[in-house]
Amino acid sequence: MRSSPYSRLLVLLDGTERGERALPWARHLARGPGRVVHLLMVAPAARALAAGGRTVAFVDQLEDGARAAAHAYLGPVAARLREDGMTVWTHVRVGGLAQVTRAVIEELDADVLVLTDGVAPLLPLHAAPIPVLMSGPRSRRSA
């Protein structure tokens, strides 16, 4: 069996079980020496919370909370993949999904993006600069 044609996989997750249906394909495509899997979660940019004319939560507080929650989610997911002998990195970013994903693709020089539909409903497939593997609602096998 030959190694996967991809060496740097970017897997977009949203913290749901549905999103994790992308992981079997990540496992499949990461087969071979030197393959690296990058798990990415994108938290939407926060807005300050105000109540009664007073700010009760600042943007940085909300974003820090979202980052911490995302890291707490990604840690065990990455650990499971590492148990299978894979090299896994986790990334948490804040901002617009499409823009952040594109920026991370460039930053990591990823060569395939793997995700499940619903994780990125507004991500235009045709605009991605690299191949995008996505499974939809009728997919009997996980992406």
Partner 1 sequence: MKIKTLLTRPAITIGPATSIRDARALMRRRGIRHLPVLEHGRLVGMLAERGIDRADASSAPEIGVHDWLDPLADLVVADVMTRGPVALHPETSVAEAARLACDHRVDAFAVVDCDEVAGVVTRSDLLAVLGGLLEHRHPTGLGHVLAATSLRPGTRRALGEALRIAATAGAAVTALHVLPAASFVPGLEGATAEDVTRVERARRRVADEATAARAGRAQDVTCEVAEGTVAREIARRAEELDSDLIVVGAEARPGILGAFVETLADRLVRLAPCPVLAVPRSGARGAGR
Q: Taking CB under 8 A as the rule, does residue 136 contact partner 1?
A: yes
Site string for partner 1, 79-118 (x = CB under 8 A): -------------------------------xxx----x-
Buried b or exposed e, range 85-109, using 16+ CB within 10 angstroms: ebebebbbbbeebeebbbebbeebe
The stretch among 59-67, 74-82, 88-96, 131-139 that binds partner 1 (CB under 8 A) is 131-139
Span from 38-46, 57-65, 77-85, 134-142 in contact with partner 1 (CB under 8 A)? 134-142
Between residue 26 and residue 45, which ones bind partner 1 under the rule CB under 8 A? 28-29, 31-32
- Residue 38: CB minimum distance to partner 1, A: 14
Give the footprint of partner 1 on this chain (CB under 8 A). 1-5, 24-25, 28-29, 31-32, 110-112, 117, 124-143
